Amino acid sequence: MSTEYRYNHYVSVWYQARFLPFYKKNKELFYLDLKPGNFIDPRGVIHAQRALRRLGPRHCFAEKDLYTTYFGSVLSTEIEQIFFGQIDSKGRSGVEYFANFKHPSAAGEALFNNMLMYISTQKLRTPKGLGWLSDLAKTTERNKILKLMLELRQIYCAIWAECIWLIADASQSSTKFIISDHPVTVYNRRCGPRSQWCRCTNDPDIWLHGTHTLFPLSLDKILILTNLSWVRNPYHSEVGLRPNADPFRSAMFNFMDIQTLRYLNEQEVREINFIIKSRAYRYIGAAEEEWLYPEKYVTKSDWYRYGNGYLLMPDPRSVRYGSEIIIGHSDGTSSSFDEYGHRPWQEGYRGRNHGVSDDWYTFHRFQGEFARLFGPYRRGRAFFGHVDKECDDDEFHQYHLGLEKKSRSKGRKKK
């Protein structure tokens, strides 16, 4: 049988190439094994394996027969050849589009769905993701795990569609983004690297209020997805469930709400790289050796406090407090969704019976706190007829500062 499809990249070669500078002649990554282990030489002497190597993308983030299924003595490579062939082809165009996204672009359903399906599948297809599926199904049988991966490949799509999307930029930092063997990374400030949520193959669930999803798009760009419930109220439990946490349903997305023009400083990039490294399973890679060691500048003890606790937050001043999307159909009918994907007949629609409307006060309080912490310059700008202004004038800035105090007071009276 041909071995062409038996050497399986769980992080695609084309994706790895996005993290190699165009000006470098040697197209290799610095590839770090976080669990190098030992080997025994012919004399029986034990030696430590070399942790750091320089390898081209074809030799990184790959395993033989990771996606090969077995039927007795017959092997099948259809998952690699057909399924991942299509996912990677469509995902490549989606990654390229969002890495270069500018308002008022709205490429439509195809590229957005391609991107969502790609990153949702990417989170499951790695050794860490497959290990999580193995624990979920309580089986180590490879065929069953791979079958479950195919069945659950859309598990994250609805939740991510309802997040606030922020495309952050590291072009002003000399340190750039690294990649890991689990490139769709999650961060919850309450769930440090040693917490129960982060043991073995576990990650904090994306439907917990305070969980952010990070996906590096290139050396200079990263996509950060944040639950709307967390943007509206970052004062409640980070590990509580967001409204309508059911992942198996339809959802709506608004291109105008994407935030861009967030420029990260070098310390922020290092903190993000530290998160990526901390959540990796075994391997990380970078264009420069120095970038592989963000722990020189960042510590686990500060996990909760990166960016005053808001390192990955979109700017709440560029988030609209909307509550409903209505779609008209050609036959004269219409469909309605609230901001959390509830339908009109469901409990919780537009905050009904859930007290979600209380987040009006916490949302405005947070807008004021954000203005106080970071000043009048926006840390992410959305689009509503035009791109939000870069800097609030003094009157508008003072207005936001006043919101924190005013909303605290109103929130207390309401209680």
Considering only CA atoms, which of 285, 258, 306, 287 is closest in space to residue 107? 258
| Pair 248, 94: CB distance under 8 Å | no
- Count of structural domains, the chain: 2
Residue 79: inside a domain: no
- Tell whether 27 is covered by a domain: no
Express each pLDDT in 19-56 by its tens digit.
Answer: 999 888 889 999 999 999 777 878 877 877 899 999 99
What pLDDT is recorded for position 413? 53
In whole angstroms, give the CA distance from residue 234 to residue 404. Answer: 13
What amino acid is encoded at 73 in this protein?
A: S
Q: Is 160 part of a structural domain of the chain?
A: yes
Residues 272 and 376 in one domain: no
* Same-domain status, 293 and 388: no
Q: What is the pLDDT of residue 43?
A: 80
Q: At what angle do helices 109-125 and 127-137 cross, to 10 degrees?
A: 70
- The answer to whether 79 touches 150, Cβ cutoff 8 Å, is yes
Longest dimension (CA), the chain: 81
Final residue before a domain boundary, out of 272, 297, 317: 317
The alpha carbon dihedral of 58, 63, 67, 72 has a sign of: positive
**168 shares its domain with 296:** yes
Given this model, what pLDDT does residue 203 score?
96
Range of the domain at 410: 321-414
Burial (CB count within 10 angstroms: exposed 0-12, middle 13-18, buried 19+), residue 109: exposed
User: Are residues 358 and 264 part of one domain?
Assistant: no
The residue whose two tokens read 């040697």 is 26
Distance CA 292, CA 150 (A): 32
pLDDT for residue 297: 97
Q: Please state, in angstroms and rounded to a whole number, the distance separating the CA atoms of residues 216 and 273.
A: 10
Same domain, 354 and 305: no
Kindly state whether residues 299 and 328 are assigned to the same domain.
no
What integer pLDDT is reported at residue 197 of this predicted model?
94
The verdict on residue 11 lying in a domain is no
Q: What is the pLDDT of residue 20?
A: 96
364 in the same domain as 407: yes
215 burial level (CB within 10 Å; 0-12, 13-18, 19+): buried
**Same structural domain for residues 301 and 325?**
no
The pLDDT tens digits for 383-413 are: 988 999 999 999 989 988 888 877 776 655 5
**Residue 209 domain-assigned (yes or no):** yes
Residues 92 and 114 in one domain: yes
By the 10 Å C-beta count (0-12 exposed, 13-18 middle, 19+ buried), 41 is classed as: exposed
- Which pLDDT does position 8 carry in this prediction? 95
One domain for residues 252 and 342: no
* Same-domain pairing of 393 and 328: yes
User: Do residues 404 and 261 share a domain?
Assistant: no
Q: Which of these three, 271, 289, 317, is where a domain ends? A: 317
List of the chain residues with pLDDT < 70: 1-3, 108-110, 323, 352-357, 409-415
In a domain, 303, yes or no: yes
Domain boundary among the residues 317, 345, 379 is at 317
Mean pLDDT for all residues in the chain = 91
